Amino acid sequence: MPKLNALVAGSTGYIGTQLIKILVKHKYINIKYLCGNSTVGKSISSYEKSLSKYKLPKIKKFNKNLLNNVDIIFTALPNGEAQDISKYLSNQKILIDLSADFRLEKASEYKKWYKQKHRAIKLIKKSIYSLPEINRKELKNYNIISSPGCYPTSILLPLIPLFKNNLVNVKNIIIDSKSGYSGAGRGVHNKYKNKNLYESLSAYGVGNHRHNSEIDQLLKKFTKKKIEVSFTPHLSPMFKGILSTIYLDLNRNTTQSKILRLLSKFYKKDKFVKVTKPNTLISTNDVINTNNCLISVCKSKFKNKIIILSAIDNLIKGGAGQAVQSLNNRLNFPEKTGLL
């Protein structure tokens, strides 16, 4: 089949360059345009040297006429900008957004958490929050695909099966997540110029991080009970990777082995979610440069509790890789295409 033409807007950020590194190896995709604002006329290899061996277009400023020549639009832009681009889409185009623009189902929630009005409210219902392992069948009905945040990806994949099967107490969930500094974007060194990113660990967004909204929204779909999730993210002295540690109270007659069996069965056919042997001490090093999510179910010193470890590469499974995984499912390509 002929290759589909793609446009990547926000091509020079950490997520954008990671996306391009995947797409150049995707046998069904041709990168037609790379777009940016302050980088117009530059080569993408200025930002990612490994791309110098590929013949890629110079960076252009986005304008709506470019959409006439592409089939797929990837947006890795500041929040709000994908909403503007979405207004120009025809029914045949597919938009895959890696920002938060279509993650929340209510415009009021978007304004609450992102401090700006949603500029494409009518399109929210025409979009889907795409966690492929959970809703890949529904994906095929949507042309606006919203990729989850990196932290929620590492958290929702282990928790959703447990919520669906009523195995854990949903009112006392504590999540401690640590991410590499690439998750804050290329401006991280300016944003945190008073911190030593390479030798210190910093908590941030305590009690009010924006990803709380995604986590709560998705988990509420799988239980009728009121949920209480405490989530605290940390910036770690490493470039990329996320390790989430999730503390759970077990419901009656639930055990560590039962949790392990359920997760193993739930993800048995999935290519990118891997459940380890019990009590395995996983690390970000186990998943870096892959589209995998690694899950380990660990015992606690308390009989009625367990601890789940979940590790991903924030730029791949938590970003560009998951976006391409969604594309592959949407267009019936083999799910691993471009992701090995």
Instruction: Write down the domain spans for the chain.
Output: 4-125, 151-314
- pLDDT tens, position by position, for the chain (340 residues)? 789 999 999 999 999 999 999 999 999 999 999 999 888 999 999 999 999 999 999 999 999 999 999 999 999 999 999 999 999 998 789 999 999 999 999 999 999 999 999 999 999 999 999 999 999 999 999 999 999 999 999 999 999 999 999 999 999 999 999 999 988 777 666 666 666 778 889 999 999 999 999 999 999 999 999 999 999 999 999 999 999 999 999 999 999 999 999 999 999 999 999 999 999 999 999 999 999 999 999 999 999 999 999 999 999 999 999 999 999 999 999 999 999 8
For tokens 């789940």, the residue is 308
Taking CA atoms, 300 is separated from 76, 154, 249, 294, 295, in Å, by 39, 20, 10, 19, 16
- Per the structure block, which two tokens stand in for 88? 């120009």
- Per the structure block, which two tokens stand in for 131? 């966690």
Instruction: Specify the pTM.
Output: 0.95
The domain defined by 151-314 folds into Dihydrodipicolinate Reductase; domain 2 (3.30.360)
Catalytic residue among 35, 150, 293, 298: 150
What pLDDT does residue 299 have? 97
Write the CB contacts of 255 (distance below 8 Å, at least 6 apart in sequence).
none
CA-based end-to-end distance of the chain:
21
What pLDDT does residue 57 have? 97
d(CA 340, CA 333): 14
State the DSSP H helix or E strand holding residue 113, giving kind and residue range, or none if neither. helix 107-114
For tokens 């001490």, the residue is 281
Over the Cα atoms of the chain, what is R_g? 20
3-class state of residue 183 by DSSP: helix
CATH class of 4-125: alpha beta
- Hey, which bits of 264-304 come out as E strands? 273-275, 293-299
d(CA 212, CA 146): 16
Give yes or no: 35 in active site.
no
